Amino acid sequence: MLIGYMRVSKADGSQTTDLQRDALLAAGVDPERLYEDHASGKKDDRPHLTACLKALRPGEDTLVVWKLDRLGRNLRHLVNTVQDLTDRNIGLKVLTGEGSAIDTTTASGQLVFGIFAALAEFERALISERTTAGLAAARARGRSGGRPFKMTAAKVRLAMAGMGQSETNIGELCKELGVTRQTLYRHVSPTGELRPDGQKVLTKHPAKSSR
């Protein structure tokens, strides 16, 4: 059975799915088997796409979309989605646009998708290579990559002092420090002892000696 999915970027009514709907119906999709989202392609939250993918039955259904960009947020997400469909023995058919040669129910369509998958792998390799090169360049200049610590040296010392007192309310301490319990316990033990992550923070920002 053919299942159709449609998406437009704006939810204010300025864009409609009429063109997509007509194309899907002409391709043989039952009007009762159409799913529709009004959301940007960059957003993760597309509830009707989620419902559509869950409704597809292995070995029986084929997902039909008007264009590839209606389905995936980016090339990587698209490839992962189609790979999941393939693993579940569910077909994908694209009606028009750059991906119109994709029809995973046919041998030639699977070949075209294989090219897309190879391009996605190439994209991942490039991103990884650029990230590694960027971190190496930063280290060479005395900078380290990654997100900054949520815990500062001052917060670690306050946490050590607070956790060392039996009357301390952990929830209130976390609120005062602006961190989660998980972050707090990763830096300081329940008895106020310094843990490895806390040691890293203090090593990076040692206390200044007074004169």
Rounded average pLDDT over 168-183: 87
Q: Is the pLDDT of residue 149 over 80?
A: no
d(CA 206, CA 148): 16
- pLDDT tens sequence across 71-96: 877 777 777 787 788 888 888 888 98
Rounded average pLDDT over 137-143: 67
Number of domains in the chain: 2
The DSSP-derived string for 46-63 is -HHHHHHHHHPPTTT-EE
pLDDT confidence tier of residue 4, bands split at 50, 70 and 90: very high
d(CA 20, CA 48): 15
Rounded average pLDDT over 129-142: 70
Q: What are phi and psi of 184, to 5 degrees?
A: -60, -50
Q: Are 109 and 12 in a shared domain?
A: yes
d(CA 6, CA 95): 12
Q: Does residue 38 contact residue 14 with C-beta atoms inside 8 Å?
A: no
Q: Are 6 and 73 in a shared domain?
A: yes
Q: Which helix (H) or strand (E) holds 37?
A: strand 34-38
Which residues, in sequence order, are CB contacts of 7 under 8 Å at separation 6+?
17, 20, 36, 37, 38, 39, 41, 46, 49, 70, 71
Range of weakest confidence among 52-66, 142-156, 165-179: 142-156
Domain-ending residue, one of 122, 143, 173: 122
Q: Are 110 and 190 in a shared domain?
A: no
64 three-state secondary structure: strand
pLDDT confidence tier of residue 142, bands split at 50, 70 and 90: low
Q: Is the pLDDT of residue 145 over 60?
A: no
pLDDT confidence tier of residue 188, bands split at 50, 70 and 90: very high
% residues pLDDT > 70 (the chain): 75
Range of weakest confidence among 37-51, 63-77, 175-189: 37-51
- pLDDT tens sequence across 11-44: 545 578 899 999 999 999 999 999 999 876 565 6
Q: Cite the active site residues.
A: 9
Q: Are 118 and 169 in a shared domain?
A: no
Residue 133 domain-assigned (yes or no) = no
Q: Does residue 44 contact residue 73 with C-beta atoms inside 8 Å?
A: yes
Q: Are 118 and 157 in a shared domain?
A: no
pLDDT confidence tier of residue 208, bands split at 50, 70 and 90: low
Residue 135 domain-assigned (yes or no) = no
d(CA 50, CA 122): 27
| Residue the block writes with tokens 């159409």 | 34
- Which position has the higher pLDDT, 108 or 122? 108
Q: Are 108 and 185 in a shared domain?
A: no
Residue 129 domain-assigned (yes or no) = no
Q: Which domain holds residue 192?
A: 153-204
Confidence (pLDDT) at 210: 44
- Which position has the higher pLDDT, 15 or 173? 173
Confidence (pLDDT) at 72: 75
